[in-house]
Amino acid sequence: MKPRIGIFGLSGCWGEQIVILNCEDRLLDLVGALDIVDFLGGSSINDKEGPLAIAFVEGSVANEREEKALQRIRERAGLLVACGTCACFGGVAAMDAAVSREEVIRQVYGDGGPSAGWDIRPHRPLSDFVKVDFSLRGCPMEKSEFLLAAASLLNGDVPQLPAYPVCLECKMNENDCLLISRGLPCAGPVTTAGCGARCPGYNVVCIGCRGPVEESNLSSIEKIFTQKEVSELDVRRKLRTFAAPALDRNAHGGLA
Amino acid sequence: MTRTITVNHLARVEGHGGIKVVLDGDQVTTVDFDVFEGIRLLEGLVRGRSAEDVTGIVSRICAICSHGHSITSLLALETALEVQVTPQTRKLRDLAYQGANIESHALHVFALALPDLVGHPSVISLAAVNPEAVALALRLKKLGNSIQEVMGGRAVHPVNYVIGGFGKVPSVEELLGLKKQIAAGLEDCGRALEILKSIQIPEFVNEPIKCAALVPEDEAFFFGKTVQVCDAEKTIDLSVSAYRALTNEYCVPHSHAKRSTHEGRSYMVGALPRLTINGGRIGGMARKAWEEIRLSLPSTNIVMNNMAQAVEMIFSVERAMALVDELLAAGLAVEAPAPYKIRAGRGAAATEVPRGILFYEYELDGEGRIAAADVITPTAQNLDHAEDQMRAAVQQGARAGASEDVLRHRLEIVARAYDPCISCSVHVIRR
């Protein structure tokens, strides 16, 4: 019997579901090897009740409806994989949690806008609500890491993914260092690798989309950035674009 | 006697939405296209961020249109900062848009909408009976992604687009690699056309469609500074900088997305309006496809948008080939991004992304930070129009005695005809 798989999206941009669909060369193999029984993004007939070997969940938790949906997925799933930075860390919608959402709403929707009764809070990662068995970082997650994780987990293996910073991949690619030689605020030293140091390869600074690497020295990188004539406020914001809840708790990327 | 038809959770669209229609006898009294995707408020959250940071954040509004969001954001910033980009940068961005259009339309036409039209619940079950068609669609989708990867560095959430141009200009070798894939794509378009010709588009709804699309200034089909709005009665041209006269946004209680109407009437953006307004610019195999699948515009059948997307997909493969040839013939210059000085300013821009017109406007303070931001996505503009078309579809079906199940399925087909991107629509920015 083929393993029963569910693919779910909470609040987000659909990026991880698109990444899965972007595995064009492997998609028919995947469909052949797996029984994808619950995938609202791809099918109008879904089994919403039965057990799942693996649930892949993208997006962050934005409201009570999603909190309940996530708990239901957890009950059904043998393994729950958080897919992408929103699911792992809250993502961009978790930025500036201290700023009142009511105030932001007034700015976005104007005075004629919503709306008493709307359930609006800063977004949270999945691990704030349920046990997460495995995390695939990245905004979006990498195709290669998704395929590796799916294959490993289905064979009873724990996928081995990088636990070192983007800097290391950047050095291996022999890129000119954007932080040291060009004086640009690159978050490579504190961000988990696995992207192949994609951005520095395009002469563009790392913006931390894969979340903090374990044991990263945040205060040191903040000091270095501030020396590069970036104001303290800008530094805080730059480093907290994708993983604000984890950084604010000072939990340096302790993920499943 | 009243009855309610609901679609609790619309499948095969991006994001979370549902539909509720109330009938009194055979008279439709209420249509709610309910968007309950969680609100992300990115628009408000980017205030205070620097001009160089903002594009990497707003790209996250939508995965499938992330190249369009990035480039439109940059165009608005470049207007505000008075940056002039080179003709080469314009061509490379144009090429990125062809990639996005190929990818998005191949996915929607073949994987999300086609199952409806041939009686399957999903592309997975379709793959079991017609693997060739699905493999063909995946190859075309991959071609679109390859173009986006070469231009933007990644298919979803590009990294290579910066104010003034590109972090790294694609190489001649990369363009030669694309040329080979595009040539194979042109052959696949021929095969795709054979499949498309065999599809019978359902004709259960007959309702006029008010169209809006950008008018291109040159060969760049998805770029322009003027919006044209037209229906059977009149045609109006508006400047992009005065886009609020078109979009007139307002809020409704049942939806997390803002709505748009023009002169009190809903309008549509997307492939069908683009071809209705700018179809004279379509030649080549795309024109041949247009004729062979008997696409007749203007149309009063919203489901034909799927066929308009198919024609546009073929157009984009042909246009991509022309652009690669032009870029290679001119010789690729390794250009640094155009320089700019931080200044206060305001800039609006619009482009045609796969689902229709995407508007961006920024106000920058003297330190180059975002003082205000406004983003209006195609799906947000289409929501009112979709409700009007759903009303017509149910009304016409109910009068002809269609069953509730048939009406419910028709609601889904109408919703999916727009290729709605619900993730996008809830992330509207407003001052």
Q: Do B139 and A10 touch (CB under 8 A)?
A: no
Q: Which of A95, A109, A204 shows the shortest C-beta gap to B430?
A: A109
Q: Which of A96, A123, A233 shows the shortest C-beta gap to B40?
A: A123
The region of weakest confidence among A92-101, A140-149, B257-266, B288-297 is B257-266
- According to CATH, the topology of domain A4-154 is Rossmann fold (3.40.50)
Q: For residue B155, which residues of chain A lie inside 8 Å, CB to CB?
A: 18-19, 22
Q: Which of A40, A65, A204 shows the shortest C-beta gap to B162?
A: A204
Q: Do A139 and B39 touch (CB under 8 A)?
A: no
Count Cα atoms within 13 angstroms, Cβ side, for B60: 31
Chain A nearest C-alpha distance from B380 (Å): 13
Q: Do A107 and B43 touch (CB under 8 A)?
A: yes
Domain boundaries, chain A: 4-154, 166-248
Q: Do A241 and B53 touch (CB under 8 A)?
A: yes
**CATH code for B2-425?**
1.10.645.10
Q: Which of A28, A63, A107 shows the shortest C-beta gap to B127?
A: A28
At B74, list the tokens.
């940059």
**pLDDT truncated to tens, each residue of chain B (431 aa)?**
899 999 887 777 666 778 999 999 889 999 988 776 667 788 888 999 999 999 999 999 999 999 999 999 999 999 999 999 999 999 999 999 999 999 999 988 888 788 877 778 777 778 888 888 888 999 999 999 999 999 999 999 999 999 999 999 999 999 999 999 999 999 999 999 998 898 888 999 999 999 999 999 999 999 999 999 999 889 999 999 988 888 876 666 666 666 677 777 899 999 999 999 999 999 999 999 999 999 999 999 999 999 999 999 999 999 999 999 999 999 999 999 999 999 999 999 999 999 999 999 999 999 999 999 989 899 889 988 999 999 999 999 999 999 999 999 999 999 989 988 876 665 443 32
Question: What is this structure's pTM?
Answer: 0.94
> Best interface-test mutation with B: which of A4, A8, A17, A22 has the largest number of B CBs within 10 A?
A22
SS (H, E, C) chain A: CCCEEEEEECECCCHHHHHHHCCHHHHHHHHHHCEEEECCCCECCCCCCCCEEEEEEECEECCHHHHHHHHHHHHHEEEEEEEHHHHHHCCHHHCCCCCCHHHHHHHHHCCCCCCCCCCCCCCECHHHCCCCCEEECECCECHHHHHHHHHHHHCCCCCCCCCCEHHHHHHHCCCCCCCCCCCCCCCHHHEECCCCCHHHHCCCCCCCCCCECCCCCHHHHHHHHHHCCCCHHHHHHHHCCCCHHHHHCCCCCCCC
The ipTM is 0.93
- The number of beta carbons lying within 10 Å of the beta carbon of residue A237 is 21
